[in-house]
Structure 1
Amino acid sequence: MKLPKLELSMQKKTCKPAMFGRLWHAGRRSLNLDHTPAHQFACSQWQTTLQPSTSYLIYRWLLFTGVLATGLASFACQRLPSRYEGPPVEINYFKWFIYFTNWGFMLIALQSGLALAVVIRYRSQKFFSTCCDDDDALMPRRPRTPLLCRAYWLAQNVATDLAFVITLIYWTLVHNPKIHDINALNLLVHGANSAVMVCELLVTAQPVRAAHALYGVGAGVAYGVFSAVYWALGGTDRFGLPAIYPALNWNQPGSAFGFVALCAVVLLVAHALATILAALRTRVASRLRPRPHADRLALPSH
């Protein structure tokens, strides 16, 4: 039996809003920072218990103190390069905050501090519970992930993407052997930053969602906007030049916009790499160390 043309047209009109509604809700669900079970943020992928292990707590303390000490040393030990031959320049320590490298390193310090706080919180609980697992059919709605865990997850996503991009862009486009010294501190902030975040991807238990690449891209675009505003207000780099980075010179807006767009693309690629590493980690862990709670600790749930 054929339906009248009027009924067919009405079905098409009602199907389109429903389809767009499902796509909108799916997009929001993939972009949010809720994850079950929440205690996964406090555990290592390689531990055998559900409660945060002592070895993982020690790892978190060592990482946080190391990153914090490196950041403080980077701020306190500012000096002109040994090969600098320009006019005399007075060091302005507060210009440390205008560089993208230091933005990325501050995010690493933030995420390592939040990760430590998450572990301490869950270890201090007297009754450790996993009542928010995916298979809990008695609860009509899952409780929201604690704000501390969501902040840590966001910081780790952005810090990971920025670390990869900072290392790549610095050694390919920014580093000038005639100006920049290659010393321990330079290697720590432009090389060890990525090594630390790779280690984090291999050790931690929380997943990496592909849609969260937008957060890293947003941070990169925010820095581009900051550099443009800083330039418009007459700000200079530590040598007194109008551009923070030669490639990000807003006196040439076309090349500056192109550099920001390039960084956004590289940030997407960096997040894709992080997603692949996290997926490989969970697969290897599930095969090498099978355990009764592997589905609760190793597999991501959305």
Structure 2
Amino acid sequence: MCNHVVMISLDPSESTLQKKMCKSATFGRIWHASRRALSLEHAPAHQFACCQWQATAQPSIPYLVYRWLVFITVLSTGIASFACQRLPPRYDGPKVELNYFKWFIYFTNWGFMLIALQALLALAVVHSYRSQKTFNNPCEDDDALMPRRPRTPLLYRAYWLSQNIATDLAFVITLIYWTVVYDPKIHDINALNLLVHGGNSLVMICELLVTTHPIRAAHALYGVGVGVAYGVFSAVYWALGGTDRFGLPAIYPPLNWNHTGSAFGFVALCAVILLLAHAFATCVAAMRVRVAARVRSRALGERLSLPTH
């Protein structure tokens, strides 16, 4: 005779309650995982202040020099881009009065300001970390048993956020400009144009190869958010009667809100490209970490190897 007793609930309300509790627990886990993925918390802190290719947790002098060079170069290029505005020599449209402040309506310049901001914040992070009396290299395992990990400083989080967004925007701006926006009739190919629409991506690739903090896949949403925000800005600017530097109603030809459907489509396309750009940045960062680990292990093996003579 079987001695096992199976309890079957005949109350449908109890079964419904259990299902609701299971769904609530599932959504709770998803929400917690999403918050953790989008979080800007990361340890150890020295990864925001050091170079990937150094062995110690103290910011090196060469990396500090690199940070100053990047900041000065980007800032100088941005100032030159603002100060040297002029109508193209081949422009044959109606006469317009140049408004310098329209520099701020272009997505290219939004992206370049973010590059300058992340360069400034990166420099501040290095100087802030170098001002400490000791340089610790804490355990990088998120599951390590620690009393309570201190929060990542606000300066470090702001730098990480701006660097993520600036990287994604730089790649998209370079691609969209040279494939869709560039018109040889009104755009000159000169040093400043190449720096703003090509040098921006080159700087951010260098940043990906030099810095040591990670790139999280979920952080792609931040870049997409800025792209959508620019789309909303362009629509509001158009609705208020704003024009580009030539007096035309569209800041960019593909972003003409007189044709709402195509403008929405262009914003959606840019959002998808931003996701792909972040995926590319994530792959570059992962490759950097793997190559650096191999170089470091090889150097360690050579130091530990015994002489053969």
TM-score by length of 2: 0.91
Equivalent residue number for residue 182 of structure 1: 189
Equivalent residue number for residue 228 of structure 1: 235
Identity of aligned residues (%): 75
Match runs of 1:206-245 below 5 Å: 206-245=213-252
Equivalent residue number for residue 264 of structure 2: 257
Kept in 2: contact 1:52–1:119 (CA 8 A): yes
Equivalent residue number for residue 113 of structure 2: 106
Equivalent residue number for residue 78 of structure 1: 85
Question: Aligned-pair distance for 1:82?
Answer: 1.2
Kept in 2: contact 1:44–1:204 (CA 8 A): yes
Stretches of structure 1 that go unaligned for 5 or more consecutive residues are 294-302
Question: Aligned-pair distance for 1:291?
Answer: 9.2
Relative distance call for 1:128 and 1:291 in structure 2 (3 A) is farther
**1:134-173 deviation line (CA, Å, top 9, x unaligned):** 475241x321100000000000000000000000000000
CA distance in 2, matches of 1:230, 1:8: 54
CA distance in 2, matches of 1:160, 1:225: 21
TM-score by length of 1: 0.93
CA distance in 1, matches of 2:273, 2:138: 39
Aligned residue pairs total: 292
- In structure 1, give the amino acid aligned to 2:145: A
CA distance in 1, matches of 2:224, 2:76: 28
Stretches of structure 2 that go unaligned for 5 or more consecutive residues are 301-309
Query: What SS is found at the alignment partner of 2:129?
Result: helix
Relative distance call for 1:13 and 1:2 in structure 2 (3 A) is farther
CA distance in 2, matches of 1:24, 1:122: 33
The structure with higher relative contact order (CA 8 Å, sep 6+) is 1
CA distance in 2, matches of 1:3, 1:144: 48
Query: What SS is found at the alignment partner of 2:297?
Result: coil
Equivalent residue number for residue 18 of structure 1: 25
Equivalent residue number for residue 296 of structure 1: none
Question: Aligned-pair distance for 1:178?
Answer: 1.2
1:47 to 2:51 alignment:
no
Query: What SS is found at the alignment partner of 2:133?
Result: coil
CA distance in 2, matches of 1:29, 1:263: 26
CA distance in 2, matches of 1:94, 1:119: 33
Question: Aligned-pair distance for 1:235?
Answer: 0.6
Question: Aligned-pair distance for 1:290?
Answer: 2.9
Match runs of 1:1-302 below 5 Å: 1-5=5-9, 6=11, 10-131=17-138, 133-134=140-141, 137-139=145-147, 141-290=148-297
Relative distance call for 1:22 and 1:175 in structure 2 (3 A) is same
Kept in 1: contact 2:57–2:136 (CA 8 A): no
**1:85-129 deviation line (CA, Å, top 9, x unaligned):** 112221110000000000000000000000000000111111223
Kept in 2: contact 1:48–1:291 (CA 8 A): no
CA distance in 2, matches of 1:182, 1:2: 80
**1:256-293 deviation line (CA, Å, top 9, x unaligned):** 10110000000000000001111111111111113999
Larger Rg, first or second structure (1 or 2): 2
Q: CA RMSD in A?
A: 1.8
